[in-house]
A and B are shown apart, each in its own frame.
Chain A
Amino acid sequence: MTTAATDTKATGATGREPWGARAGRLLRAVLSWPNAAALAVAAFVAAPLYWMAATSLKPPEEIGTHPPTAWPENATWANYRDAFTDNHFGTYLLNSVLVSVIATLLVLSLSAFAGYALARLPLRGKAPIMVSLLMISLFPTIALAAPLFLLMRDMGWLNSYQGLILVYTALNVPFAIWILRNFFQSIPKEMEEVAWVDGASPLRTVLSVILPQATPGVFTAAIFTFTACWTEFLIALTLNTADRYRTMPVGLALFGSQFTVPYGTIFAAATVSVLPIALLVLIFRRAVVSGLTAGAVKG
């Protein structure tokens, strides 16, 4: 395997090799068992995603054919037009973006300071606080649905943006604190000591000395929070059922009737909903992976 790896690298660097030799080398690399197994895994993961995108491009008649067509034979954008002009997926998408972005910003600003305090400042009871936060962040939201529904009803915040934003902020602060605290702890202490000695205020120290050092951590926390808000379903279904305030998951789940499920429209909207997350994951995959492992490494 190692030879294969170095070989490919060498060829890539020079790029002067005859095409046939390069293809042969590539073939051999693919045929080594880990690569073949990885390809199988990739196919298993990608196949349903392909099917979603392919279906979104098929006209309704083609979606209902009995042996389904492997490739959209009469590809059309009609489903996309249907989802975003004739139906309200445009509104749902905007609602999702609005709620997720604002909640993410709030989560970051709250947990940056809390994470710093829990990482560096001499608070009593840090360990119980951190453990409680971890447990809260993993708590099944069903336990919160009814009380939050009643609370929001009393405040008149059912079917509103601020209600959902407040709940999403609170649900995601705990995990963000965990991630950020771990990153803050990895910053050398000398940095802040210099800032303190130079007479910087605490606020300034955090904002202009600590946060810039912890940029990867901030990105990680942001992506995790955004993904959690973007995909959340139960609370959104409980609090925001009015068509105008539905988020994407609620809109997608409640679309169609019991007897006809317009899959073309659903998958057109679904494909669009996957794109922002797919872009985030592609661009920041390192941050996401390190966030996943922050849990694994730090506990």
Chain B
Amino acid sequence: MTDSPGPANSPDDEDGQAIPYSGAPGPDRDVPLRPVPPGAPGAPPPATASPRPEPPRPERRRRRRPTLHPGHHRTALERRFARLGWMFATPALLVVLAVTLFPIVFSVAMSLSNVQVSSGGFRLSGLTTDNYAMLLGSERWRQALLFTVLYTVGTVLAELVLGTLVALVLERLSAGRGWMMALLLLPWAMITVVSAQLWAYMYNGVYGVLTSVVEGVTGSAPQFLGTPGPAVVSMAVADIWKTTPFVAIIVLAGLMMLPREVTEAARVDGAGPWTAFWRVRLPLLRPALTIAVLFRILQAFGIFDLPFVLTGGGPGNATESLALLGWQVMFTNLDFGPGAAVAASTAGLVLVGCLVFLRAFKSRVGDEEAGA
């Protein structure tokens, strides 16, 4: 929202223009990416620095933009276009509203009331916090929360580091980058259940290929999924295999859009490749990394398929995620009240994470609105 399409923005604008066209000689040149929004690459600080210096003016400017003939019939035309816009947007928004927003609200309502299951259906009655009290007192929920948080932090960190390394390798690749991209996209596009079955088979204690490989090296057969600690790590490895490529591709795209002049200037100034990366390129990559991390955190926090197939949440409850716990409480035990509390609190935690991260790139959404 710092945008201000006024003079304050023009230097940023120049940066933005320079970026996508000068530094992208790779196979993705023709990818129709728009210029990076002003202020995106290196200038996040103003976002928080001046949140609302003069709210009314950008507002007015913004609304004026889409007018086709500035100066003539502005309001009438504008009203007609706005009506048209709502006509175009309403069907999609209604479907989304009905199938996602309404259930979310219903879920919260369910978690706050007594749910009676009978043959005739469900009855919600009264307003109660019992379901949440039950949650907080439950050892199993705390265990699931701990597992989910640790798992999310661990896998996302590992994927971020590995993904960046892979992207740096691919950037220097002299040939076959397109084929590497296609190969990397395969695990990402695979059905998670398939990859879970695949890893379950490879981890199998009797005839798993990884079991015999490790046995051949160390001399003793490992227990991949049978004991809590290794089970968590094994699951994380399966996850890392599937999603590191996703992070790598986002980071690679970010790398290829960096202006080459920046790196060259750093080299001329005497920075080694290491310094150039840490001090110059990594900060410029921050927007790309932020998005990759946001996507990954939200996905990892809702993880369900992998533990469902790979471990069933076991051994014990060692790999039971919040989503798996909620699903089992609702659909195996048919305890819809507490189950809804698990689901709603998971969603709430995700929402908090989401808002924290949106803060980091909110300014860019604002910029784009004004600059559109």
In the bound complex, do residue B88 and residue A116 qualify as a contact, i.e. CB atoms below 8 Å apart?
yes
Tell me, in angstroms, the Cα distance from A266 to B191 when the chains sit together: 13
Min distance, Cβ B70 to any Cβ of chain A, angstroms:
12
In the bound complex, do residue A170 and residue B192 qualify as a contact, i.e. CB atoms below 8 Å apart?
no
Tell me, in angstroms, the Cα distance from A55 to B245 when the chains sit together: 24
Min distance, Cβ B129 to any Cβ of chain A, angstroms:
18
In this complex, what residue of B is CB-closest to A144?
B103
In the bound complex, do residue B372 and residue A130 qualify as a contact, i.e. CB atoms below 8 Å apart?
no
Tell me, in angstroms, the Cα distance from A293 to B30 when the chains sit together: 13
Tell me, in angstroms, the Cα distance from A56 to B65 when the chains sit together: 58
In the bound complex, do residue B346 and residue A123 qualify as a contact, i.e. CB atoms below 8 Å apart?
no
In the bound complex, do residue A263 and residue B302 qualify as a contact, i.e. CB atoms below 8 Å apart?
no
In the bound complex, do residue A64 and residue B207 qualify as a contact, i.e. CB atoms below 8 Å apart?
yes
Say whether, besides A29-B174, A138-B354, A299 and B361 are in contact (CB < 8 Å): yes
Say whether, besides A51-B202, A140-B298, A290-B32, A67 and B190 are in contact (CB < 8 Å): no
Q: Mark A125-163, 1 if CB is under 8 A from B, else 0.
A: 011011101011011111111111111001000000000
In this complex, what residue of A is CB-closest to B20?
A297
In this complex, what residue of A is CB-closest to B86?
A123
Say whether, besides A34-B174, A173-B92, A186-B34, A296 and B253 are in contact (CB < 8 Å): yes
On chain B, the residues within 8 Å of A41 by CB distance are 166, 169, 180
Contact pick for B253, options A52, A230, A289, CB 8 Å = A289
In this complex, what residue of B is CB-closest to A248?
B191
Task: Give the number of residue pairs across the A-B interface with Cβ within 8 Å.
Answer: 355
Tell me which residues from 281 to 320 in chain B have a Cβ below 8 Å from any Cβ of chain A: 287-288, 290-292, 294-295, 298-299, 301-302, 304-305, 308-309
Say whether, besides A145-B343, A274-B190, A110 and B34 are in contact (CB < 8 Å): no
A contact patch SS? helix
**Total residues of chain A contacting the partner, CB 8 A:** 117
Say whether, besides A140-B301, A144-B104, A183 and B32 are in contact (CB < 8 Å): yes
Say whether, besides A38-B169, A45-B186, A230-B191, A290 and B99 are in contact (CB < 8 Å): no
Say whether, besides A48-B198, A231-B191, A298 and B368 are in contact (CB < 8 Å): yes
**Total residues of chain B contacting the partner, CB 8 A:** 126
Say whether, besides A52-B198, A138-B298, A142-B323, A185 and B372 are in contact (CB < 8 Å): yes
In the bound complex, do residue A68 and residue B96 qualify as a contact, i.e. CB atoms below 8 Å apart?
no
In the bound complex, do residue B31 and residue A293 qualify as a contact, i.e. CB atoms below 8 Å apart?
yes
In the bound complex, do residue B88 and residue A121 qualify as a contact, i.e. CB atoms below 8 Å apart?
yes
Q: Which residues of B contact A (CB under 8 A)?
A: 27-28, 30-34, 36-37, 40, 63, 65-68, 78, 81-82, 84-89, 91-93, 95-96, 98-104, 106-107, 110, 121-122, 166, 169-170, 172-176, 178, 180-187, 189-202, 206-209, 212, 216, 241, 245-246, 249-250, 253-254, 257, 287-288, 290-292, 294-295, 298-299, 301-302, 304-305, 308-309, 322-323, 326-327, 330-331, 336, 339-340, 342-344, 346-347, 350-351, 354, 358, 361, 364-366, 368-369, 372
Besides the contacts A64-B206, A147-B106, A274-B186, what 15 more A-B pairs have beta carbons closer than 8 Å?
A127-B366, A138-B354, A146-B107, A146-B336, A150-B106, A202-B88, A252-B193, A253-B193, A253-B305, A261-B197, A281-B186, A286-B28, A292-B250, A293-B253, A295-B250
Q: Which residues of A contact B (CB under 8 A)?
A: 1-2, 4-5, 8, 29, 32, 34-35, 37-38, 41-42, 44-46, 48-49, 51-52, 55, 63-68, 110-111, 113-114, 116-124, 126-127, 129-131, 133, 135-136, 138-151, 154, 166-167, 169-171, 173-174, 177, 182-183, 185-186, 193, 196, 202, 206, 216-217, 227, 230-231, 233-234, 238, 248-250, 252-253, 261, 263, 266-267, 270, 273-274, 277-278, 280-282, 285-286, 288-290, 292-299
